[in-house]
Structure 1
Amino acid sequence: MLAVLLQSFQFLLVILVAYLFKRAKILRSTDGVALQKIILNLTLPATIVVGFNGVSVEPILFIMISLGLLSNIALVTLGGFLWRKKEAPLQSLMMFSQAGYNIGNFTIPFVQGFFPAAIPYIGSFDMGNALMLFGGSPMIVDKMTGQNHSNDGYIRRILRLFRSPSFTTYIIMFLLALVGIVLTEEMLSVFRLFSSGNAFLSMFMVGLYLEIRIDSVSFKRVRQLLAARYIIGSVVAAIFFLVLPLPELVRISLVLVALAPIGTVSTINMIIYGNKRSLASFLSSVSIIISLIMMTGALLLIM
């Protein structure tokens, strides 16, 4: 319990320091782009390698991939139903705000300090999550809102996933696990060197991107979107933990992903589908803070 509270406090502290650096103009929001490139291309893949190395490929991993797909399909569709009477950009805003989880830049850094054994399960869930973020969800949004932003076919979108170093690392480590190849401790020590900075850099990037200014109309909309996301997310988390006949660590992993923040790709899609950048950025920022609090609270209740 103390480890969870300490981890959450450390994350909040790093986020606050980064935000204060931005406010003091020591750094700028645009500096977060450089951090994001380091995280996505180096520290996050290294963390995935360390977490997946030596994992036995069991049916549970395929179940997690399926749950990543199915939960996104259900939530993006539910979001479209909730705001079905609103104009297309607002309906798409609700849909993208309900589906898609920030796992690579938030959930994995959150658990790697005290739940490293959960990374293979969370990573497997993220494989299904990524398939929806990069292809499935925009297609469903287009279908329900009558827009046409996802011109590429689904196969092309899947192939585009392999431009993501983290997704490619998931696949490589999954294949190595399938054939029983385990990296030596000497090789793993190199990856540990880079993965050790992942949590700090991820939270520092969050602080640089943090936005807390917004107009009153957008603020009201954000309240509605986040209330829907976290009420539904809490119900989904309870179902995952109390109903599914899975090992405890797997169910804890599912609770954490159900309460994870809005995915970065979902935030980008909100803007592409006609919503204001300031609204999408504020929504994403507040989602991260709420998720940190709720994930911490959930762990304290479970443990």
Structure 2
Amino acid sequence: MAMILIQSLSFLLVVLVAYLFKKTGILRSTDGTILQKIILNITLPATIIVGFNAVKVDVILFIMIGLGLLTNLVLVLIGSLFWRKKDPVDRAMMMFSQGGFNIGNFTIPFVQGFFPAAIPFIGSFDMGNALMLFGGSPMVVDKILGQEREESSYIKRALRLFHSPSFTTYTFMFLLALLGITIPKTITSVVELFSSGNAFLSMFMVGLYLEIDMDTSSLRKISKLLSVRYTLAIAVAVLFYFVLPLPEIVRFSLVLVTLAPVGTVSTINMIVYGNKRSTSSFLSSISIIFSLILMTIALTLLA
């Protein structure tokens, strides 16, 4: 328990240091773009390779992919029941704020030091999560709002998935596991060098992107959105952990992913559908703080 708290506080410290660097002018929030490119193209794929290597594919991994799809779908649909009388822009924000989990840039870095054995399960869930983020959720939102968007065609969004190095790496490692192919230790030992920096860089990037300045009206809106999100997230986490007949490490992985922050692509979708960039970014930033606290509590209680 002490190690979990120390690790969580260490992550928070990295986030705060990055935020202070931004506020004092040493770095700028735009510098986070460089870190994001390094993470998405190098350290995160390396972490996925190390985590997935030598994994035996069984039905549980397919179940996790399905749960990633189903959880997103259900949460978006539940989100559609809220703010039914509001305008389409606000309704879209509510739906996107409920579905979509930041797993690659937050959850995996958070757990890789505690439970590396959980990465294949979390990664499998993220494959389903990505399918919804890049295609499924916008199509559902369009259907509910009665809108048609050319950019939301299924084929285009399916192809966009493979523009993501992490999703491509998931798919590649999943295929290797299906074929029973294991990457030799001589290669993974080099890959581990790159993956070792993933957690620090991810948390530092979070700090550079962190925004905590917002007007009163937007704060009220964001508080309602996050209240709904985390009430649903906790309910789903309890359901997954205490009801599903799956191994404990799998149920524990599900608890962590459901408590994850708002997905980066969800934030982008909010902006695409007409919401202010500042409000959407602030929502994402605050969700990171809430998730860090809740995931630490979950680790403390269940680990």
After TM superposition, the score normalised by the length of structure 1 is 0.99
Give the structure 1 partner of residue 121 of structure 2. Answer: 121
Q: Any conservation in 2 of the 1:88–1:146 contact (CA below 8 Å)?
A: no
Letter in 1 for 2:183: L
Q: Deviations over 1:267-296 (max 9, x none)?
A: 011111011111001100000000000000
Give the structure 2 partner of residue 256 of structure 1. Answer: 256
**2:278 partner SS:** helix
Q: Deviations over 1:158-203 (max 9, x none)?
A: 1210111100000000000011110111100111000000000000
The answer to whether 1:246 aligns with 2:262 is no
For 1:146-185, what aligned pairs fall within 5 Å after superposition? 146-149=146-149, 151-185=151-185
Q: Deviations over 1:108-143 (max 9, x none)?
A: 000000100000000000000000000000011111
Partners of 2:62 and 2:55 lie apart in 1 by 13
Give the structure 1 partner of residue 66 of structure 2. Answer: 66
Deviation of 1:6 (Å): 1.4
**1:51 partner SS:** helix
For 1:52-91, what aligned pairs fall within 5 Å after superposition? 52-91=52-91
Partners of 1:148 and 1:30 lie apart in 2 by 33
Letter in 1 for 2:279: L
Q: Deviations over 1:191-238 (max 9, x none)?
A: 100000000000000000000000110000000000000000000000
Partners of 1:193 and 1:73 lie apart in 2 by 37
Deviation of 1:153 (Å): 2.1
Letter in 1 for 2:122: I
Identity of paired residues, percent? 68
Letter in 1 for 2:49: V
Deviation of 1:150 (Å): 5.2
Deviation of 1:16 (Å): 0.2
After TM superposition, the score normalised by the length of structure 2 is 0.99
Partners of 1:150 and 1:280 lie apart in 2 by 23
Partners of 1:153 and 1:261 lie apart in 2 by 26
**1:280 partner SS:** helix
Per mean C-alpha deviation after superposition, the further-off stretch among 234-243 and 159-168 is 159-168
Partners of 1:301 and 1:109 lie apart in 2 by 20
Letter in 1 for 2:61: L
Give the structure 2 partner of residue 292 of structure 1. Answer: 292
Per mean C-alpha deviation after superposition, the further-off stretch among 78-87 and 66-75 is 78-87
Letter in 1 for 2:56: S
Partners of 1:259 and 1:175 lie apart in 2 by 28
Letter in 2 for 1:140: V
Deviation of 1:50 (Å): 0.1
Partners of 1:8 and 1:54 lie apart in 2 by 28
Number of aligned residue pairs: 303
Q: Any conservation in 1 of the 2:75–2:98 contact (CA below 8 Å)?
A: yes
Q: Any conservation in 2 of the 1:149–1:273 contact (CA below 8 Å)?
A: no
Structure 1 spans left out of the alignment, 5+ residues: none
Give the structure 1 partner of residue 269 of structure 2. Answer: 269
Structure 2 spans left out of the alignment, 5+ residues: none
Give the structure 2 partner of residue 213 of structure 1. Answer: 213
Q: Any conservation in 2 of the 1:35–1:201 contact (CA below 8 Å)?
A: yes
Give the structure 2 partner of residue 23 of structure 1. Answer: 23
Deviation of 1:3 (Å): 2.1
Letter in 1 for 2:288: I
Q: Any conservation in 2 of the 1:3–1:114 contact (CA below 8 Å)?
A: no
**2:151 partner SS:** coil
Give the structure 1 partner of residue 280 of structure 2. Answer: 280
